[in-house]
């Protein structure tokens, strides 16, 4: 809706997409019947941002800043996004990880305004019809969760709606997806979290989780309803329990436009970081041995994409898998074990069982990647072992939020005597050691998924293929400058994320066009077409 479609007066001030509040000009106040509804002073958006920053920075906690930012989104959408874009370093950790983890835990207690779309088992048989209740018809990106595995926090049920809301705010801020083309969805199928079910303020369905065929049938109805109502929409599956995450991805990846960010987005951003790390370590990617602590969807997704990356270097699939080792709660993943999930079997090597510490010393990995949700799993002995094996050990502590990281940046630098190439899933402050300051980059999926979505939207992709994530990882690694590497970062600064998303979108769209996966015709100037589409919140 635009201002020339007839909306005037107080209705404009109540419409977050149209409201400019005190920035409406004198002419607009007369034309739109706003005279008398606003204070006399006509301000600029820059002045409004100054006011927003003053108010946010005097809050006592990040959760209060989160609440204030969500309220701003609800009353002045463009001001919210410009504030987020112009101060992405400061506020991405508020609207997303790590603060979004606390926001999800407390979601029912800090709830102010409905946002997003909720589907419950009671909606079985009518999901397509209730989608008509959504106010826009041209949805292009959907982020959907069932709340069962929120970050590293477990089953948060309907409280998990904070994740789709946060992810879509980053789609807009980091890649310029139009806000009115975004749809957060909560599949509220209950929760096995008894404490939540007994919370008098809990907003979700108060029952144990729907499972089995009934669960699958609800998902199928939702996905098919989306195909009918929003046929150009990309579906991003988010924070599903590992078995469901893999099963749903395998069921739908070749049927509809979809991907799983925990599996594929995490894989792409981690691969990009490993690519960039080789420019510091001097070890060719083809020569790397990589070990994962944790064998869930995130770690296995990274390994699956790394297999493709090794194959891209000329290896066979068998040779590629021999470069990748897993350790889970029961030790090294080996063929003799009888407790492995199906997605772990391709990485079960013919080797004697070992503990994590033994495996590091015997396998001698160049790269250690944590995706466990187990804080402190990278102990001083583990980091010291990595530093003994490697001149420049690569250690990625990717678990979110910050409280769940396998080790802190400070621990990694101190225990390795400053030689580590470190990255984490949530942000850590710079570390000064022996007169040198290290500013490790954050291996945040926000570097990848917005660009993937933007590329898919521009070319109207039919499917999302693995080559798109491989192309995205290469493109992100290319954005890392020598100056970034000198600071210890294997990712570009967050204030460059919008340009990185544009480059990734271009690479993704090119893969789609080259592989016949695009419905839209290839524009003569692809980069310009992408830039022209991207949302601009300035007024």
Q: Rounded to whole angstroms, how far apart are CA atoms 500 and 479?
A: 7
229 classed as catalytic? no
Q: What is the pLDDT of residue 4?
A: 46
- Catalytic residue (one of 81, 96, 171, 447): 96
Q: Closest Cα to residue 239, out of 296, 196, 199, 176? A: 296
Q: Which domains does the chain have, with CATH numbers?
A: 3-83 (1.20.1370.30), 94-256 (3.40.50.10380), 264-445 (3.40.50.720)
Q: Each residue of 14-53: b (16+ CB within 10 Å) or e?
A: eebebbbbbbbeeebbeebebeeebeeeebebeebeeebe
Q: Rounded to whole angstroms, how far apart are CA atoms 408 and 399?
A: 11
| Predicted model pTM | 0.94
Bridge partners of residue 199, in order along the sequence: none
Q: Considering only CA atoms, give the Rg of the chain.
A: 23
Q: Rounded to whole angstroms, how far apart are CA atoms 173 and 495?
A: 11
Distance of CA 30 to the CA centre of its chain: 43
167 classed as catalytic? yes
Specify the residue for token string 């301000």. Answer: 43
Please state the three-class secondary structure of 243-298 as a single string: HHHHHHHHHHCCCCCEEEHHHHHHHHHHHHHHHHHHHHHCCCHHHCCEEEECCCHH
Residue 3 has pLDDT above 70, yes or no: no
Which has more pLDDT, 464 or 441?
Answer: 464
Residue 2 has pLDDT above 70, yes or no: no
User: What pLDDT digit, counting tens, does each position of 444-458 carry?
Assistant: 999 999 999 999 999
User: What pLDDT digit, counting tens, does each position of 5-36 carry?
Assistant: 578 999 999 999 999 999 999 999 999 999 99
User: What pLDDT digit, counting tens, does each position of 114-127 carry?
Assistant: 999 999 999 999 99
- Catalytic residue (one of 167, 229, 475, 506): 167
Through-space distance between the first and last CA atoms of the chain, rounded to whole angstroms: 16
Q: Rounded to whole angstroms, how far apart are CA atoms 304 and 159?
A: 31
Q: Rounded to whole angstroms, how far apart are CA atoms 504 and 41?
A: 42
């Amino acid at each position: 809706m635009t201002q020339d479609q007839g909306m005037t007066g107080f209705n404009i001030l109540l419409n977050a997409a149209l409201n400019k509040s005190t920035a409406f000009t004198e002419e607009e106040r007369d034309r739109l019947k706003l005279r008398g509804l606003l204070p006399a002073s006509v301000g600029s958006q820059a002045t409004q941002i100054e006011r927003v920053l003053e108010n946010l920075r005097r809050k006592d906690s990040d959760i209060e800043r989160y609440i204030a930012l969500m309220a701003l989104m609800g009353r002045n959408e463009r001001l919210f996004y410009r504030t987020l874009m112009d101060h992405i370093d400061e506020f991405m950790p508020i609207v997303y990880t790590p603060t979004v983890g606390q926001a999800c835990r407390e979601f029912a207690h800090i709830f102010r305004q409905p946002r997003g779309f909720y589907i419950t088992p009671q909606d079985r048989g009518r999901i397509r019809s209730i989608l008509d209740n959504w106010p826009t018809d041209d949805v292009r990106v959907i982020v959907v969760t069932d709340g069962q595995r929120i970050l590293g926090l477990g089953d948060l049920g309907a409280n998990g709606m904070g994740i789709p809301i946060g992810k879509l705010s980053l789609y807009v801020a980091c890649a310029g997806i139009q806000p009115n083309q975004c749809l957060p969805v909560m599949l509220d199928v209950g929760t096995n979290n008894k404490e939540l079910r007994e919370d008098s303020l809990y907003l979700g369905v108060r029952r144990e989780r729907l499972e089995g065929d009934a669960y699958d049938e609800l998902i199928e109805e939702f996905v098919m309803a989306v195909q009918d109502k929003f046929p150009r929409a990309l579906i991003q599956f988010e924070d599903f329990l590992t078995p469901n995450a893999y099963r749903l991805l395998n069921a739908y990846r070749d049927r509809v436009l979809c991907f799983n960010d925990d599996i594929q987005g995490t894989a792409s951003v981690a691969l990009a970081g490993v690519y960039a790390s080789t420019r510091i370590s001097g070890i060719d990617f083809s020569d790397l041995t990589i070990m994962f602590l944790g064998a869930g969807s995130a770690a296995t997704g990274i390994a699956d994409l790394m297999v493709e990356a090794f194959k891209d270097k000329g290896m066979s699939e068998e040779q590629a898998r021999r470069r990748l080792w897993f350790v889970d709660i029961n030790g090294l993943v080996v063929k003799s074990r009888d407790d492995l999930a199906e997605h772990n079997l391709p990485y079960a090597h013919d080797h004697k069982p070992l503990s994590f510490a033994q495996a590091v010393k015997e396998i001698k990995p160049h790269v250690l990647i944590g995706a466990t949700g187990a804080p402190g799993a990278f102990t001083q002995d583990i980091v010291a072992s990595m530093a003994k094996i490697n001149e420049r050990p690569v250690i990625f502590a990717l678990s979110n939020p910050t409280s769940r990281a396998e080790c802190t940046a400070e621990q990694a630098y101190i225990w390795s005597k400053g030689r580590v190439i470190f990255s984490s899933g949530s942000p850590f402050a710079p570390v000064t050691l022996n007169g040198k300051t290290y500013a490790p980059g954050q291996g945040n999926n926000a570097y990848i998924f917005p660009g993937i979505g933007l590329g898919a939207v521009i070319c109207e992709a039919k499917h999302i293929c693995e080559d798109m994530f491989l192309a995205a990882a290469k493109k992100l690694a290319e954005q890392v400058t020598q100056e970034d590497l000198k600071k210890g970062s294997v990712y570009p600064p967050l204030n460059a994320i919008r340009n990185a998303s544009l480059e990734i979108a271009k690479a993704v769209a090119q893969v789609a066009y080259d592989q016949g996966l695009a419905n839209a015709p290839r524009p003569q100037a692809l980069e310009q077409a992408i830039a022209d589409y991207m949302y601009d919140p300035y007024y």
